[in-house]
């Protein structure tokens, strides 16, 4: 079985309040970027001694295999239903720690794929519960369609949002932003208008209406990331924003653009949506 865990962007991210459990309440709009993806292969191995064997190629993450969300997803699902021993191969193409949800997508797609291999598959609501145990962004990838999210990001409401026909440019400068530190330096506040309402405005108005609260913190520390957003607007983006807690910044364009000279030293991904 081969699947393609895709990236996501956040269109707006409001940090609403701090919670007693150490997390934060947020509201955001998740939008899948399905043309930027990792490659995940899962092969049942009934004669294999180990329950799960994992290997990875592509972008290398220097962490023990047991910390990978694909491996965690296997053990989590196996605690709830029957699973055969498997070999998992992940080819990593989505930059990690970049606000694109690559690791969360890998974990969620592993849950979905393994569930299909189980003789006693779990219902979707149970998969969503397990996905949340993997990470706050993981439940979104069970839906994998535009969603308005609240709570930690796990309370999901599918919405009608179609950007097809537009162009998206993702720019990642290779900087690591510590999400925990970014949250600790943030100033939670309730917005006057819910993002669920603002996203319905004409996208030409988003620039002055929809913001990512992490930018206030991250841009102060990493001026280079702020400069990327400024350059995207200079290039004609109708909307530009940092995704998640960064460091990736995306721009949405109505026309095809030539971007190579601006961002030749960065990881870039450019595609018609």
Name the domain count of the chain: 2
Q: pLDDT value at position 179?
A: 86
Residue 176 pLDDT > 90: no
φ, ψ at 111 (rounded to 5°): -60, -50
8, 38, 92, 106: the catalytic one is 8
With residues binned 3-state (H G I as helix, E B as strand, rest as coil), the percentages for the chain, rounded to 5, are: 30, 30, 40
Map residue 242 onto helix, strand or coil. strand
**Catalytic residue flag (residue 8):** yes
Structural domain of 86:
2-158
38, 106, 137, 213: the catalytic one is 137
Give the contacts of 152 (CB within 8 A, at least 6 positions apart): 19, 23, 24, 25, 26, 132, 136
121 and 182, same domain (yes or no)? no
CATH of the domain at 212: 3.30.70.890
End-of-domain residue from the set 138, 158, 178? 158
Residue 134 · residue 71 · CB < 8 Å: no
Give the contacts of 51 (CB within 8 A, at least 6 positions apart): 74, 75, 78, 83, 85, 86
69 and 92, same domain (yes or no)? yes
- Please state the pTM of the whole predicted model: 0.94
Residue 167 · residue 273 · CB < 8 Å: yes
Residue 180 pLDDT > 90: no
Q: pLDDT tier at 178 (50, 70, 90 boundaries)?
A: confident
Residue 191 pLDDT > 90: no
End-of-domain residue from the set 158, 189, 208? 158
């Amino acid at each position: 079985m081969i699947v393609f865990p895709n990236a996501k962007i956040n269109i707006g991210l409001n940090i609403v309040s701090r919670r007693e459990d150490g997390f934060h309440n947020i509201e955001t709009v998740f939008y899948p970027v399905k043309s930027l993806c990792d490659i995940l292969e899962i092969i049942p191995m009934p004669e294999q001694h180990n329950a799960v064997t994992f290997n990875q190629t592509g972008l290398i993450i220097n962490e023990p295999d047991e910390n990978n969300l694909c491996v965690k997803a296997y053990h989590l699902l196996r605690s709830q239903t029957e699973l055969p021993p498997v070999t998992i191969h992940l080819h990593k193409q989505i930059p990690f720690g970049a606000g694109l949800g690559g690791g969360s997508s890998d974990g969620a797609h592993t849950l979905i794929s393994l569930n299909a291999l189980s003789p006693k598959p779990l219902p979707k609501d149970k998969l969503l519960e397990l996905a949340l145990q993997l990470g706050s962004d993981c439940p979104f990838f069970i839906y994998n369609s535009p969603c308005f999210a609240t709570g930690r990001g796990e309370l999901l409401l599918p919405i009608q949002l179609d950007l097809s026909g537009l162009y998206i440019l993702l720019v990642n400068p290779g900087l690591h932003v510590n999400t925990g530190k970014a949250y600790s330096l943030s100033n939670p506040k309730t917005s006057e208008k819910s993002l669920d309402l603002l996203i319905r405005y004409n996208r030409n108005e988003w620039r002055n209406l929809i913001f990512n609260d992490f930018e206030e913190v991250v841009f102060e520390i990493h001026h280079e990331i702020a400069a990327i957003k400024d350059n995207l607007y200079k290039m004609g983006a109708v909307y530009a924003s940092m995704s998640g807690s960064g460091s990736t910044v995306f721009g949405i364009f109505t026309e095809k653009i030539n971007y190579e000279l601006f961002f030749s030293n960065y990881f870039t991904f450019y595609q018609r949506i």
